[in-house]
Chains A and B, each alone.
Chain A
Amino acid sequence: MLTEIFITPFADMVAAPDFLMQVLWEGLVSGILYALIALGFVLIFRSSRIFNFAQGIMVVFAALTLVGLYAMGVPAWIAVGLTLVVMFILAVSIERIVLRPLVGQPDIILFMATIGITLFLIGLGEIIFGGENKVMITEELGIPTGDTVLEPWDGLLILQHLDITVVVVATLLVAALLAFLNYTQMGRAIRALGDDHQAALSVGISLQTVWVLVWFIAGIIALVTGIAWGARAGVSFALEVIAYKALPVLMLGGLESITGAIIGGLMIGILEKLFEIYWGQPLLGGNTETWFAFVLALVVLLFRPQGLFGERIIERV
């Protein structure tokens, strides 16, 4: 038994390095999407201390809107533009109708409000677009669907072009977001608001503007993840589940840390894949990806309650 846990998996990895590469690649693809969703969470949390439960449904809602608009005869790229407009309207409405009246309420109330948003969006999505599964308009958007076969070490490594596109686009988006946050005044305003509301007000930052902005960014992220995941698994309300994968990513990375979200996402994507292939399938009958991330996060929390990169809570007395 011990051999199977501690020796066989590693022997397998060494014996078939091409297969290991394949596993790592697939882990990386999901990991970067987890990281992207987690970034959406972190932005909203940092600027308003709201734990946004609705991030998952926003992914579904964005994907549904895109596919739905296309079905109505709107050309693919115009549909993307219109979906962005819809996500912006959503951000403005959430700020106006939900957040503004609840300013200053305890965090848990705002958290409950985001659950309310989730339920509302599920209902709205079903009324407008129907509840049945749909196919993502992958080809219409010009996303390549073929694959490239590499042969490292006389083995086989298959890279789906879709996955390559996802990795490239997501990496660019993450890089753009980081640059925006670090090198523009509006980005500084977002970070500042999370640190100290009073001070932020005193330098002329409007809470409302920043909130609309971060919810809109979360909306853009939702659309990108929605397209990426929809292309692999179809567009349905089940997509919502992938956003909950962002929860262990956040626990791992820390709720406030942007770096943490990125590294946490990649770690979970890769580790859960490795575990599934080398330990899960041979020893536990597979399907470990559904719970592995949560267990990993729990173990990390036991030792570092603030997460790997979270702000350590120290109060000066």
Chain B
Amino acid sequence: MKDTDGYMTEDGRQIGGVLMEMKNITLRFGGVVAIQDISFDVREGEIRAIIGPNGAGKSSMLNVISGFYHPQEGEVWYKGERRPAMKPYEVARLGVARTFQNIALFEGMSVLDNVMTGRLTHMHAGIGAQALWWGTARDEEIANRRKVEEVIDFLEIQHIRKTPVGTLPYGLKKRVELARALAAQPSILLLDEPMAGMNVEEKEDMSRFILDVNDEFGTTIALIEHDMGVVMDISDRVVVMDYGKKIGDGTPEEVRSNQDVIDAYLGVAH
């Protein structure tokens, strides 16, 4: 197989082989082409960004990866195998965790309970055993709880553990959502505009957390942003989309000097 050797990043992290590969993905909604023949890969341990102006099809791409949308053409390869069309919860069970652009949390539940739901993919005991709080179910619950506390510590949200999520400010909600995704110990973590709507300080916090997650747990991260500045700072490789097409792919430096990318972002005189 090609490309199993990976590469070394500037800051000296070893990036592994291909974890996920999108091959010639085309997604249409009726007559509207949201994604047109896009291919790219995500390698193990890397922070991969998908950027582009509004309406470029970034979120659609993330929804294809996480199984919310099914492309009309193209293939999704994951861990060396072609992934058949799957429901989102099945994709989640394969180790793909995600956050949402508009924050999708369980508002009525506490922060702790929200993060605990992230462990659902690690639940093996039967419903009966759970109902009786018995044997493996009990051990699992305790193990899950331990992992969750670790994540809560890591993202510095201990002080709001018992708070109902609905009452939290925006920036913290984003962090809780990240915690829930992280609790799943995903093979790949998808972040849909993790910095959208944040002020500079919150953006810096979030960037730090993303880098720390990647560094500490070695989690592969694919993220979407339209704020170019932050993305260029934290990602290893960047895919640029515009009007559903891929117009650039490479390291931040390569992408920054790509004429098509500059045109897409700054506009071009016709």
Contacts and interface: CB of A to CB of B under 8 A. Distances in A.
Interface in A108-136: none
A195 B114 CA distance: 11
B93 A183 contact: no
Interface in A189-207: 189, 191-192, 194-196, 198-207
Main DSSP-derived SS at the A contact region? helix
Contacts of B116: 185, 188
A185 B120 contact: yes
B81 to A, nearest CB: 19
A194 B105 CA distance: 11
B217 interface: no
A176 B130 CA distance: 11
A180 interface: yes
Given A185-B116, A202-B98, A191 B87 contact: no
A203 B104 CA distance: 11
A206 B89 contact: yes
A143 interface: no
Contacts of B1: none
A201 B98 CA distance: 10
Interface in B130-165: 130-131, 133, 137, 140-141, 144
A185 B119 CA distance: 8
Given A180-B131, A196-B105, A196-B106, A201 B120 contact: no
Nearest to A182: B113
Contacts of B113: 188, 191
B109 interface: yes
Instruction: Sort chain A's interface into a size bin.
Output: 20 to 34
Contacts of A201: 68, 87-89, 92
A105 interface: no
Nearest to A191: B109
A168 interface: no
Given A188-B116, A192-B109, A203 B100 contact: no
A183 B98 CA distance: 24
Contact of A191 (B89, B106, B123): B106
B121 interface: yes
A198 to B, nearest CB: 5
Interface string B81-116: 000000111001100011010001111110001101
A13 interface: no
A188 B100 contact: no
B86 to A, nearest CB: 11
A148 interface: no
Contact of A204 (B93, B100, B140): B93
Interface string A3-23: 000000000000000000000
Given A179-B133, A184-B131, A204 B104 contact: no
Contacts of A192: 106, 109, 114, 117
A195 B108 contact: yes
Interface string A300-316: 00000000000100000
A39 interface: no
B233 to A, nearest CB: 27
A251 interface: no
A206 B93 CA distance: 10
Contact of B66 (A194, A200, A202, A206): A202
A170 B98 CA distance: 41
A277 interface: no
Contacts of B105: 195-196, 199
Given A192-B109, A201-B68, 5 more contacts: A184-B131, A188-B116, A198-B68, A201-B92, A202-B92
5 contacts: A183-B133, A184-B141, A185-B117, A192-B106, A202-B66
Cβ-closest 6 pairs across A and B = A199-B104, A204-B92, A195-B106, A201-B88, A204-B121, A184-B130
